[in-house]
Amino acid sequence: MPSDASPATVPVLSVCGLSVDYATARGVVHALDDVSFELASGETLGIVGESGCGKSTLARAVVRLVDPSAGTIRLGEEDITHASRRQLRAARRDIQMVLQDPAASLDPRWTVGELLAEPLAIHRIGSRAERRGRVADLLRKVGLPPEAAGRRPHEFSGGQRQRIGIARALALEPKIVVLDEPVSALDVSVQAQILNLLTDLQRTLGVSFLFIGHDLSVVEYISDRVAVMYLGRIVELGDRDSLWRRPAHPYTRALLDAAPRIDGPAVPTGPGLSGDTPSPYDLPTGCRFHTRCPIATELCRHEAPATRELSPGHLVACHFPDTGAEPSSSARFGSGI
Amino acid sequence: MSDPIPADPVLAVDGLSIAFQTRRGLLPAVRDLSFSVGRGEMLAIVGESGCGKSLTALALLGLVPTPGRVTGGAVRLEGRNLLALDEAALRHVRGARISMIFQEPMTALNPVLTVGEQIMEAILEHEPVSRKAARERTLALLERVRIPDPARRFAEYPHRMSGGMRQRVMIAMALAGAPAVLVADEPTTALDVTIQAQILSLIDELRREQGTAVVFITHDLGVVSRYVDRVLVMYAGRKVEERDTRDLFADPFHPYTQGLIAAQPRGLIAAQPRGLAARSQADARLPGVARERLTEIPGTVPALAAMPPGCAFAPRCPLADDLCARTVPPPRPAGSGLVACHHAGESHAI
């Protein structure tokens, strides 16, 4: 994938041609198909899309909770695509995950102090006393009082539990945190607290975020770059402003139009999409979006579009991308992923 | 100043109070709530978890689950107080004059009946028509809610359908009796955004064409801004503000409403126009570029058992003083609506 970062910088995460298939009773699901992207140090890449687009599978695949069927995952220079359990344990110092429901990922019998010290103990970091100090430090970082260490997760509100989840993910000072819908279960006032916390942590720690979400205003707010997914593929990837100002893929455009926002137009600006997302068991031929696309042609029904670069860093997989006012910009594509 | 109360409301709620029966006595969850909705109007009730909005929705149909119960007030539907009716009389009204759709249709749909049979049943329960006529009406309803190939879908079971299709079936069922009021409790929260847009457009179209009044319960302010005429904001069981939608977003009066709107991640494009040229590609890779801090509302919502004696928002409010700590502010007219705050209008708090 082309990169606008200086050639000397190795991305903290490089995903290339990643595919994940699930074998189920109803057949094989191609949950993720040929997905490529890079994550730079200190940046937030947002991943958006609707149910079944593969965004959560992608989150699980990059931390190797599910096994890829093709492609590679690199942490820095290290290829972890087929890393053994032991190699993975070391790799997980660098890549951690935060889930939507903090309660589900925190053992209710443990105190918060024990939960935060556990990753340190597993990696044999520090003495007992040093770990206690580190726990206090983590609590302070996420805005919880030191007394929180002696209490159990259920004694906290949803927002506070998400702070605990974030503290645990940060315990090993990872380079990357994968956040899978981290604020989707929270009320808007609490959501604001967590989004501010994530922004502050990134600024002070320089950690990179892979932020999976379905709420477009949240993803827009938190992300430097955004990848839009549809039925297992990235259909568009670019820096946030280009994507929001000039979405090139008709699906991106439809998503942005469909999501009402308090500072947006009072009426939808586009016609909206008709129909449902096709079943992942029975994927459409050609471009997977053609069954709902307002501008699909015969070509789209038969041939899957290759990913091309519209402008530096702005990738789109569509035969007829909206290239905006300058028709010449479409002539610049070429390298693809 | 316009009157927020519709001249001839289809539904008028007056002083509604709902409480939970506990070992330590009654815990009030909704207090002294009044509002009304006119024919063809869409009113949203917004607020965060625990504010009492869903409980209010259930009370409109006499469906408050135990240990909750209505402790006071009236719910007048076309002039008749539903709270004074017995269960048998209520059942006649429910589905016929007022009906409800929920966030998760599967909780309301019967999994062992086809969708057609369920809608037919809803029709037959309220009207003395033949099965043949009910079947025809059902097919018309399925078509009305834009379900493709109604004859085939009629014979399908709910679990075979997508979330969006199920919600359409729920709406068809809710419309079977041509109700005057449709109560929609977070009807699109579980749906994808492109499907949400389809369902909201459908509800919007139905109320315009059939004059159905809609009470729309939601936490999503974006949805409110696009589809709703009037908004009622609830906090800790009480109405804190009620306004025309446009006015509410342009100039919220209550410090809580101001906080809610400011906490919303906004489109940066709209909030602060910046040229693309202002940021080089390299800048785009730096963390925290062009990201304004979101406004947080400090603290948390008080527990039902620990409600402050005065304004429930006072412990979190920058404008709060002694008066707020002692006395609950009554709703008073303000702009196009009502606000319940001792200090609203003095300055913008948040």
DSSP string for B26-49: EEEEEEEEEEEE-TT-EEEEE--T
What DSSP designation does A99 have?
Answer: -
- A217/B264 Cβ within 8 A: yes
In this prediction, residue B8 carries a pLDDT of: 79
- Under the banding of pLDDT at 50, 70 and 90, the label for residue A279 is confident
A 10 A CB-CB count for B47 gives 27
Residue A19 has pLDDT above 90, yes or no: yes
DSSP-based three-state secondary structure for B166: helix
Residue B239 has pLDDT above 90, yes or no: yes
Name chain B contacts of A51, Cβ cutoff 8 Å: 163, 192
Name chain A contacts of B199, Cβ cutoff 8 Å: none
In this prediction, residue A25 carries a pLDDT of: 87
The whole-number average pLDDT for the span B45-68 is 94
> What CA–CA distance (Å, rounded) separates B39 from B21?
35
What DSSP string describes A101-147? -HHHHS-TTS-HHHHHHHHHHHTT-S-HHHHHHHHHHHHHHTT--GG
In this prediction, residue A311 carries a pLDDT of: 93
E-strand ranges in B117-229 read 181-185, 213-218
Q: Using alpha carbons only, what angle is made at residue B270 by residues B216 and B45, rounded to the nearest 5 degrees?
A: 15
In whole numbers, what is the pLDDT of chain A averaged over residues? 89
Among B285, B292, B301, B350, pick the best mutation site for testing chain A contact (most A Cβ within 10 A).
Answer: B285
Residue ranges of B 74-133 with Cβ closer than 8 A to chain A: none
Residue A265 has pLDDT above 70, yes or no: no
What DSSP designation does B83 have?
Answer: G
**Between residues A109 and B299, which one has the greater pLDDT?**
A109
How would you write A265-299 as a 3-class SS string? CCCCCCCCCCCCCCCCCCCCCCCCCCCCCCCCCHH
The answer to whether residue B267 neighbours chain A at the CB level (below 8 Å) is yes
In this prediction, residue B275 carries a pLDDT of: 30
> What CA–CA distance (Å, rounded) separates B286 from A40?
9
Q: Which of A55-69, A204-218, B228-242, B260-274 has the least mean pLDDT?
A: B260-274
In this prediction, residue A269 carries a pLDDT of: 67
Sign, CA torsion A317/A322/A324/A326: positive
Residue B36 has pLDDT above 60, yes or no: yes
In this prediction, residue B286 carries a pLDDT of: 40
Nearest CA in chain B to A292: B194
Contact yes or no for A147/A111 (Cβ under 8 A): no
Is the link from the previous residue into B67 a cis peptide, with omega within 30 of 0? yes
Tokens representing B68 are 């909750």
Q: Which of A121-135, A250-264, B113-127, B284-298 has the least mean pLDDT?
A: B284-298
A 10 A CB-CB count for A38 gives 21
Which long-range contacts does A282-290 make (Cβ < 8 Å, 24+ apart)?
A: A283/A30, A283/A231, A283/A232, A287/A317, A287/A318, A287/A319, A288/A230, A288/A231, A288/A232, A288/A233, A289/A230, A289/A231, A289/A235, A289/A249, A289/A250, A289/A251, A289/A318
Q: Which of A86-90, A163-167, A292-296 has the least mean pLDDT?
A: A86-90
Task: Name every residue whose Cβ is closer than 8 Å to that of residue B53 and which is 6 or more positions away in sequence.
Answer: B45, B46, B47, B217, B234
Angle between helices A128-141 and A158-170 (to 10 degrees): 130
The answer to whether residue B291 neighbours chain A at the CB level (below 8 Å) is yes
The whole-number average pLDDT for the span A175-193 is 93
Name chain A contacts of B219, Cβ cutoff 8 Å: 187-188
> What CA–CA distance (Å, rounded) separates B300 from B259?
13
Tokens representing B247 are 């006015």
> What CA–CA distance (Å, rounded) separates B98 from B179?
5
Residue B104 has pLDDT above 80, yes or no: yes
Name chain B contacts of A240, Cβ cutoff 8 Å: 268
- A264/B219 Cβ within 8 A: no
> What CA–CA distance (Å, rounded) separates A55 from A233?
9
> What CA–CA distance (Å, rounded) separates A122 from A143?
25
Convert the pLDDT of each residue in A156-170 to its tens digit: 888 899 999 999 999
Residue B316 C-alpha, separation from nearest chain A C-alpha, in angstroms: 12
In this prediction, residue B127 carries a pLDDT of: 86
The answer to whether residue B288 neighbours chain A at the CB level (below 8 Å) is yes
Residue B107 has pLDDT above 60, yes or no: yes
Tokens representing B214 are 């809609």
Residue ranges of A 184-243 with Cβ closer than 8 A to chain B: 187-193, 195-196, 199, 202-203, 206, 214, 216-218, 220-222, 224-225, 239-242
The answer to whether residue A157 neighbours chain B at the CB level (below 8 Å) is yes
In this prediction, residue B106 carries a pLDDT of: 82
- Under the banding of pLDDT at 50, 70 and 90, the label for residue B281 is very low
DSSP-based three-state secondary structure for B176: coil
Nearest to A272 among B198, B249, B279 (CB): B198
- Under the banding of pLDDT at 50, 70 and 90, the label for residue A332 is very low
The whole-number average pLDDT for the span A89-94 is 91
Residue B57 has pLDDT above 70, yes or no: yes
Beta-carbon pairs below 8 A across chains A and B: 164
Bridge partners of residue B94, in order along the sequence: B98
In this prediction, residue A301 carries a pLDDT of: 96
Bridge partners of residue A230, in order along the sequence: A233
The whole-number average pLDDT for the span B289-293 is 67
Containing H/E element for A89? helix A85-91
pTM of the model: 0.88
Name chain B contacts of A159, Cβ cutoff 8 Å: 300
Residue A277 has pLDDT above 90, yes or no: no
Nearest to A225 by CA among A76, A24, A11, A8: A11
In this prediction, residue A101 carries a pLDDT of: 79
**Between residues A120 and A3, which one has the greater pLDDT?**
A120
- Under the banding of pLDDT at 50, 70 and 90, the label for residue B282 is very low
Residue A266 has pLDDT above 70, yes or no: no
- A203/B288 Cβ within 8 A: yes
Among B186, B194, B219, B301, pick the best mutation site for testing chain A contact (most A Cβ within 10 A).
Answer: B194
In this prediction, residue A325 carries a pLDDT of: 52
Determine what percent of chain A is predicted with pLDDT higher than 70: 91
In this prediction, residue B267 carries a pLDDT of: 59
Residue B27 C-alpha, separation from nearest chain A C-alpha, in angstroms: 20
Residue B346 has pLDDT above 70, yes or no: no
Distances in whole angstroms, Cα of residue B313 to Cα of each of A151, A194, B30, B49, B317: 27, 21, 15, 15, 6
Cα B28 to the center of its chain, rounded Å: 20
Nearest to A4 among B267, B271, B281 (CB): B281
In this prediction, residue A249 carries a pLDDT of: 97
Residue A336 C-alpha, separation from nearest chain B C-alpha, in angstroms: 19
Tokens representing A200 are 């502050």
In this prediction, residue A26 carries a pLDDT of: 84
